[in-house]
Amino acid sequence: MGRSGVLCLDRRGASLVLRSVQGILPSYSNPDVTQPMALTASLATLLEVAIFAYIMAALGHRILRFLGLQCLARSELILCSVALGVIALQVGLFIAEASGAVRIGTLVCLTTAAILGARDFPVVFRIVRSAAQSISSGTRTGKLLATMTGLVLALEGLAAMAPLTGSDAMRSHFTVPLLVLRTGFHPNFFLSHSFFCGQGHLLILGALAFGSERLAMGLLFLGGALAACALVCLGREWMPRPWAWVAGLSFLLTPLVFWQISTAGAPDLWMSFYATLGVIVIARCRQTDNDAKALLAGVLAGGIAGTKYTGCTVAASLALAFLWESRSVRGVGVFLSGAFAVGIWPYARNAIWTGDPFFPFLMRWLAPSGMNRYALASYLASTGAADSRSLWQVVRFPVFAAFDGSQGELWEFLGPLVLIFVPLMILAVRNTPAWRASLTVWFASALGIGTASGTARFLLPVLPIALAASFAGVSHVDKLGWRIVRRASLGTIGLYLLFGLAGLLLYGRAAIAVAVGLNSRQNYLQQRAPNYEQAEFVNRVLKGGLGEGKALVFFHHLYYLDVPFVYGDPDASWAVDPERFQTPEAWRELFRKEKIRWVVRSPEYPDSIAQPLGELEKEGELVPLANGEVDDFEGVRVLGQRKTVLIVILRVED
């Protein structure tokens, strides 16, 4: 429980602050009362996610039918339909966002998708039913593994229904779409992570437009579930169905994956889905309907590139694989047309707003007058781009041997299975389209990411491809009858699955508890959400009764902050350049220009700008309004260490 108290130091704010004291301490709900409602709400949201996927599949199937591309296998067809429907929706949502009519635009997009796909609803239902019957008529082992995969997905789906606590999500992934809904579509140089938000974040925006954070989390969960399905589909190219299910289960129980699919609040797993599906489509490109498949593969590549800057590397590797397989200049042109049509929007937005489509990484060359060297150095360091890497460090990336747990960031762990089974994979590799496409995308993406960033978690989009290929080697050994190797491989897989399941249960138990009503939302957020009590303190003090204006804040996790604010930490705020804000006068001008009426110090100002702000306090231009003590995390959140933080809200004197 957080320790909070408010001391009013300003008469004009006294009555409001004193009234808020009664609400400072957390209130505990009775779990027995909230459980039925919480569980019902969670299950209802997961049902909404399933309906959304069904509508997207129908829309995508309609588009595929229009393109004349229905020669794919049943499972491939339904996955491609969902992917195409979602990507088409994202383009529509971007147009709605840019037009300034997000809520009505989201409703129009979904209604249009349902109308266009209505004719294909029965077809999609028949395909899904046929796929389910195929699974149920399989071997006993296959059905058992499919059931286990479904149970793991159910646990992860319930965990995804918990309130948002993901650190990056509270800083940018969810905060930026929420600010778009509050203040409109415009450049926000204070929260400059907003320029990193791409097509995948539009699903979050659409769900928040309907007022449902839980639905947004559910749509991100859907991306991970579809990625696992695509992995199983790719694995069937080289191995029996039970082995493909084991590969899919291993993917879902990888720490980075179960963190991303449940509580992280990031759209990265949609890239995993598109990349794996892109490999499957490229492997079919020498068959009939080459132009249609080139367009589909390009659209998938564009969906990856439009989600995240590092997705451009994966998209480029898909283009390379397509060129190798098609050997067609015309096909490459169609591929690139599809990629640019769906993936260009975030880069065009950034170019219009800043002059740099990859803001801020090209600013020093494209728009040097707008440079903030301090923030750029921070971004380069946080993404690993500033670190020098040896050839050996880069070469380790394709075999997923680049994990560094020195900082306790175990959620970055991608597992050892690829590294262990790569030697066996070599025995299974054949000169087939699926192998060529998979290895090209896997290795080219990993080498590119290793060279440019060196951050292991950015390999997530190609993890399903690497796992499918690696498990093909284990399956091949099984067919060869190598008993010792087979037993060692099965033992390794079994231990890893147990490790992953234990990690999922340990990590996800708190999220599942609140999703089913065994804990209250307030308790959960106080226990799990960083900076939550700081945000609540600011909300209680400043909401209502103190007039208009913005608060300047420096703590990082902003999603639960309900008052108008600007973010001032120079490490992630392009607008607050320490080189330009070293005098009190510079801050006075910022306060006037941005209508900043309050400054929140929690507990101290960032070192690079502390001196002029401290001078303003000494000169009486920043007057304390309220202060208190709140609990927060100390160091890495997963360690669970807490500390007491002093928070002070100061009023800007005119």
Question: Tokens representing 210?
Answer: 């309907």
Asked if 100 and 185 count as a contact pair (C-beta separation under 8 A), the reply is: yes
Whether 287 shows a pLDDT value over 80: the answer reads: no
- Compute the average pLDDT of residues 375-383: 88
CA 417, CA 488: separation in Å to the nearest integer?
12
Q: What is the pLDDT of residue 9?
A: 39
| Lowest mean per-residue pLDDT among 235-244, 306-315, 316-325, 537-546 | 537-546
Question: How far from each other are the two terminal CA atoms of the chain, in whole angstroms?
Answer: 38
The arithmetic mean of pLDDT across residues 167-171, rounded, is: 94
DSSP at 605: -
Model pLDDT, residue 386: 67
Average pLDDT over residues 434-460: 92
**Is the Cα torsion angle 94, 100, 102, 108 positive or negative in sign?**
negative
Closest CA to 149 of 47, 261, 255, 225: 225
**pTM confidence score:** 0.92
Name the region of 517 (left: φ>0; alpha: ψ -120 to 50; beta: rest).
left
Place of tokens 């997530």: 460
Indicate if the pLDDT at residue 29 is higher than 50.
no
Residue 272: Cβ within 10 Å count? 29
Alpha helices in 431-559 (DSSP H): 433-452, 463-480, 483-515, 521-528, 532-542
Identify which of 160, 173, 239 has the alpha carbon closest to the alpha carbon of residue 208.
Answer: 173
The torsion region of residue 4 among left (phi > 0), alpha (psi -120 to 50) and beta comes to beta
- Decide: 394 and 382 in contact? Cβ < 8 Å: no
pLDDT 10s digits, 57-91: 999 999 999 988 877 888 999 999 999 999 999 99
Res. 6: pLDDT tops 80: no
Strand, helix or coil for residue 600: strand
Reported as a pLDDT band with limits 50, 70 and 90, residue 455 is confident
Amino acid at 105: G
The lowest-confidence range among 128-137, 238-247, 417-426, 537-546 is 537-546
What does pLDDT average to over the chain? 89
CA-wise closest residue to 476 among 140, 135, 235: 235
Other CB atoms within a 10 A radius of the CB of residue 74 amount to 14
Cβ contact 276:524 at 8 Å = no
Q: Domain coordinates of the chain in residue numbers?
A: 7-28+529-652, 140-514
On whether the CB atoms of residues 19 and 45 are closer than 8 A, the answer is no
- What is the per-residue pLDDT across 330-368, written as a single tens digit (0 to 9) for each? 999 999 999 999 999 999 999 999 999 999 999 989 988
Does the structure show a pLDDT above 80 at 390? no
Mean pLDDT of the 271-281 span: 97
CB atoms inside a 10 Å sphere around CB 300: 32
pLDDT over 60 (residue 19) = no
* 191 confidence band (pLDDT: 50, 70, 90): very high
pLDDT, tens only, 561-587: 999 999 999 999 999 999 999 999 999
For the cut 50, the answer to whether the pLDDT of residue 301 exceeds it is yes
Instruction: Name the band, by pLDDT with cuts 50, 70 and 90, for residue 624.
Output: very high
Read off the pLDDT of residues 463-514 as tens digits, 9 standing for 90 and up.
Answer: 999 999 999 999 999 888 888 999 999 999 999 999 999 999 999 999 999 9
Residue-wise pLDDT for 217-232, tens only, equals 999 999 999 999 999 9
Residue 502 CB neighbour total at 10 angstroms: 11
- pLDDT number for residue 403: 61
Question: Is 629 strand, coil or helix?
Answer: strand
Does 637 score more than 50 pLDDT?
yes
Given a cut of 80, whether residue 236 has pLDDT beyond it is yes
**What pLDDT does residue 288 have?**
64
Across the range 402-418, mean pLDDT stands at 64
For residue 435, pLDDT over 60 is answered with yes
- Are the CB atoms for 6 and 17 separated by under 8 Å? yes
**Residue (of 577, 526, 646) closest to 25 by Cα position:** 526
- % helix, strand, coil for the chain, step of 5: 70, 5, 25
Alpha-carbon span 500 to 210, nearest angstrom: 34
Asked if pLDDT for residue 424 goes beyond 60, the answer is: yes
pLDDT of residue 556: 93
What's the pLDDT at 34? Answer: 56
Which residues are paired to 603 by β-bridges?
Answer: none
Of 544, 488, 523, 516, residue with least CA distance to 16? 544
pLDDT at 412: 58
